Structure 1
Amino acid sequence: MENLRHLKIALPWHTFGHDNLGIDALSRANAAIIESAAFSKGISVEFLTLGSRRKSNAIPPSSTIKIGPSPSLNQLARGNFAIFRELRSCDLAFDIAEGDSFTDIYGRRRFFLHCLTKLASILMSQPIVLSPQTIGPFDRVTHRGMAKFILNRLTSVYTRDFLSTEFLSDLRISSNKDEFIDVAFRLPFTPRPKDKDLIRVGVNVSGLLYNGGYTGGNELNLSLDYRAFTKALIETLQNRPGIEVNLFSHVAGGGGRDDDGPAVLELAKCYPKTKAIPVFETSIEAKSWVSGLDFVVGGRMHACIAAFSSGVPVVPVAYSRKFNGLFGTLNYPYFVDGKEATSQQALVQTMAWFDNRKSLKDGIEASSSIVDERLNRYEAAIGELLYYLAVPREKS
């Protein structure tokens, strides 16, 4: 048997226990896939996370995972370079960029911080892989140039949708690249039974969309009045017999306009016949609960992925190309485009899909082979890289 090296793996922008359960789902699923790939090659590994906004009571899912420092411009400005010391102690890095944060649409500060962690690995000559994610857009010319500089110096760049792949092609990125799918489709869950007497509908309320974006000025440029659409949807569903409407969050606890929790409570107060679901502790808990629903309308992409990957008909409300790209890649056309549809158009279309739930379920089943094939290829690609790095080599 080969004497393979033990590998220490950095996980930049992975957070177990993030108040955004999408990031929690990505972190759990990606670490599990990497560990499975290593096990298949007979390689022992340990992980170091370098994430953000972790709940104080969050526990890593495995003893092989150590929680490292959070990337912070303020800490760096104070001369605290612990994150670089920790990163240097690792053999390679898998950077998931919280799924969609390698872009400048969320502001310059966030963009520069994500650039910084990638540049650190590059300057250390450390192998770094961008795990499957949405990449771009980069609206400012200077940001596009910086992103291109970084992308061309990474070990591998993996996208989760065809629009990001086309974007890399337009940028003429020369690094090793491939298109897979969102790793959160692999998130485990415990299936819940369906209610035999009621049609249980889950409305995943996005605080970000409900509050008109991060500033309230509709900087997401939506044609859809999401608040009006959500209220009309609840009213329409409640006017039909035998339907239970459940309001749930997927980003909660962080406060601010991005928090789903206050929007859920406000709607529950307006519509007392709805059920406001308590905040979930983990993405696995959320996905397990979602699996017991009959239909979901979601404003958060990973709430939609939780439904999709547990076989529940789902209508995502798309506010950026990450939705269009991902569900387009899966040949799943049942989503509302918030940049194209009016509130009335969205309501009519959503209710038509609700009445034709079986077609949506059939669409999910037809796409399952795409998910399996792509994630199997991703795991195989990881295995090859880990094996290459784990084989001992004589120093020249």
Structure 2
Amino acid sequence: MRILLAWADETSPNLGVRALGRGSQDLLQRIWPEAEFTYMNYGTKPDAVTWSPRGLIREWVTGRRGMRDWLGGFDLYWDTRSGDSFSDIYGLPRHTTMSLIHEFAARSHVPTILAPQTIGPFGSRRSRLLARRDVHRSKLVLARDPMSARASASLGRPVDLTTTDLVFGIDQPVPEPGNDVLLNVSGLLWRSLHHGDPHVYRRQIEGVIDGLLDRGRAVTLFPHVLDSADADNDVPLAVELRDRYDGRLDLVIPRDLDHARALIAGARVVIGARMHACLNALSTGTPAIAMAYSRKFAPLMSELQWPHVVDAGRSDDAVGRILAAVDDPELTAQARKAQARGQHMLAGAAELVGSSQ
């Protein structure tokens, strides 16, 4: 069994992308213990593949790169779309590239599965047309929340299962204790105008830090997108905040996904705007207060029966809600219930995928 894991990998500076890859592999390996896995992502592009939409059309006609033969060597195309890129919120070119490669695989007679992910929103006619072709060409379509299931149904293809995020399929880490509050500050939200008001987000973060320090809590800054040439990373901002607070904040930079999950599992609570920082936490039974910047957060967390989600970059009352959640004595017990629910929901996905082949 040869499986192509699309749009996830083991080396991305974004630990959420790594979590999708690891969750996919751990889930599928339980179904097919002898499976062989190959990753395909922007940082791990195979030689036979082109990202260009024009290049993909040219390759279908000429076959010069051998992409059809390369794809045809797999028994399954497992399409994660980076968790939330089956949409045009990150731009139509990204959505177009991912959709065309999915179609290329389907036309190469490889069974394609849309792994558990967010589906939509689709803001243009072209975007919807691309999405419609993908869901109709997929052997299985799995959504990780009910809103995504409704988005797929609106394209004329009801999902085969509404489950949860793949992070709940990752094997449990050995906790590395020593941290009280891990605070993930998103470099994306700190700078970008596309996901809320960065000035509001900055006030929120400063209010949370000040409120935690006033309560005597130990705060450790925790990047979840590691340093790279891409401006969308959390490390420089974490260093800047540590220096600004003159030694009152700690900083820990994870070495890799395993280290991140061990740190999270040993912490008392995580506060974060990177969704997989929060999902890594809940999947290990650690409470996570999510600072949501898109519609991917709330419906997924709601299905886990996890209420601690606030709006990042939009509402100044988020600070009070975050601090109240941190003070909640039932927080850890709630997190353990969310963990168990997520594991149970994802087990249903494994059963469905295993029976489909």
Structure 2 length-normalised TM: 0.91
Aligned Cα root-mean-square deviation (Å): 2.3
Structure 1 position 372, deviation (Å) = 2.3
Q: 1:75 to 1:152 in 2, by over 3 A?
A: closer
1:368 to 334, 339, 342: 339
**1:46 is aligned to 2:16:** no
**1:245 is aligned to 2:245:** no
Q: Structure 2 unaligned segments of length 5 or more: list them.
A: none
2:306 to 312, 323, 332: 332
SS at match of 2:2: strand
Structure 1 position 245, deviation (Å) = 0.8
Q: 1:237 to 1:132 in 2, by over 3 A?
A: same
Structure 1 position 208, deviation (Å) = 0.5
SS at match of 1:291: helix
1:359 is aligned to 330
2:87 to 103, 123, 126: 103
2:170 is aligned to 187
In structure 1, distance between residues paired with 2:194 and 2:37: 37
In structure 1, distance between residues paired with 2:215 and 2:292: 26
Paired amino acid for 2:41: G
**1:73 is aligned to 2:45:** no
Q: 1:348 to 1:224 in 2, by over 3 A?
A: farther
Q: How far does the alpha carbon of each residue in 1:76-125 deviate from its partner, in whole angstroms, 9 at most, with x for none?
A: 48977354442121122111111111111101221111112111112112
Work out whether residues 4 and 39 of structure 2, in 8 Å CA contact, stay in contact via their aligned partners in 1: yes
Structure 1 position 72, deviation (Å) = 2.4
2:321 to 334, 339, 349: 349
2:349 is aligned to 378
Structure 1 position 71, deviation (Å) = 5.2
1:30 is aligned to 24
In structure 2, distance between residues paired with 1:302 and 1:31: 17
Q: 1:201 to 1:148 in 2, by over 3 A?
A: same
In structure 1, distance between residues paired with 2:308 and 2:40: 35
Paired amino acid for 2:16: G
1:231 to 188, 200, 206: 206
Q: How far does the alpha carbon of each residue in 1:260-290 deviate from its partner, in whole angstroms, 9 at most, with x for none?
A: 1111111111112111212x23212101011
Q: How far does the alpha carbon of each residue in 1:361-394 deviate from its partner, in whole angstroms, 9 at most, with x for none?
A: 22222233421221111111121123xxxxxxxx
Structure 1 position 360, deviation (Å) = 2.2
1:61 is aligned to none
Paired amino acid for 2:209: I
SS at match of 1:231: helix
Work out whether residues 296 and 313 of structure 1, in 8 Å CA contact, stay in contact via their aligned partners in 2: yes
SS at match of 1:158: strand
2:151 is aligned to 167
In structure 1, distance between residues paired with 2:155 and 2:86: 14
In structure 2, distance between residues paired with 1:237 and 1:131: 38
Work out whether residues 134 and 164 of structure 1, in 8 Å CA contact, stay in contact via their aligned partners in 2: yes
**1:264 is aligned to 2:238:** yes
1:146 to 100, 125, 130: 130
Q: 1:83 to 1:227 in 2, by over 3 A?
A: farther
In structure 2, distance between residues paired with 1:136 and 1:373: 25
Q: 1:294 to 1:224 in 2, by over 3 A?
A: farther
SS at match of 2:296: helix
SS at match of 1:315: strand
Q: 1:23 to 1:83 in 2, by over 3 A?
A: farther
1:64 is aligned to none
1:301 is aligned to 275
In structure 2, distance between residues paired with 1:81 and 1:267: 47
Paired amino acid for 1:342: S
Structure 1 length-normalised TM: 0.82
In structure 2, distance between residues paired with 1:367 and 1:252: 27
Work out whether residues 188 and 284 of structure 1, in 8 Å CA contact, stay in contact via their aligned partners in 2: no
Structure 1 position 258, deviation (Å) = 1.4
Paired amino acid for 1:376: A
1:17 is aligned to 11
1:93 is aligned to 77
**1:200 is aligned to 2:180:** yes
Q: 1:320 to 1:304 in 2, by over 3 A?
A: same
Paired amino acid for 1:101: S
Paired amino acid for 2:113: V
Q: 1:369 to 1:292 in 2, by over 3 A?
A: closer
SS at match of 1:101: coil
Q: How far does the alpha carbon of each residue in 1:306-362 deviate from its partner, in whole angstroms, 9 at most, with x for none?
A: 1112222210000111111210111111111237x522x011111111111x32222
Work out whether residues 100 and 135 of structure 1, in 8 Å CA contact, stay in contact via their aligned partners in 2: yes
Structure 1 position 194, deviation (Å) = 4.2
Structure 1 position 12, deviation (Å) = 1.4
**1:317 is aligned to 2:296:** no
Structure number with greater Rg is 1
Structure 1 position 142, deviation (Å) = 1.6
Structure 1 position 74, deviation (Å) = 8.8
Q: Structure 1 unaligned segments of length 5 or more: list them.
A: 1-6, 55-66, 387-396
How many residue pairs end up in the alignment? 350
Q: Percent identity?
A: 28
SS at match of 1:14: coil
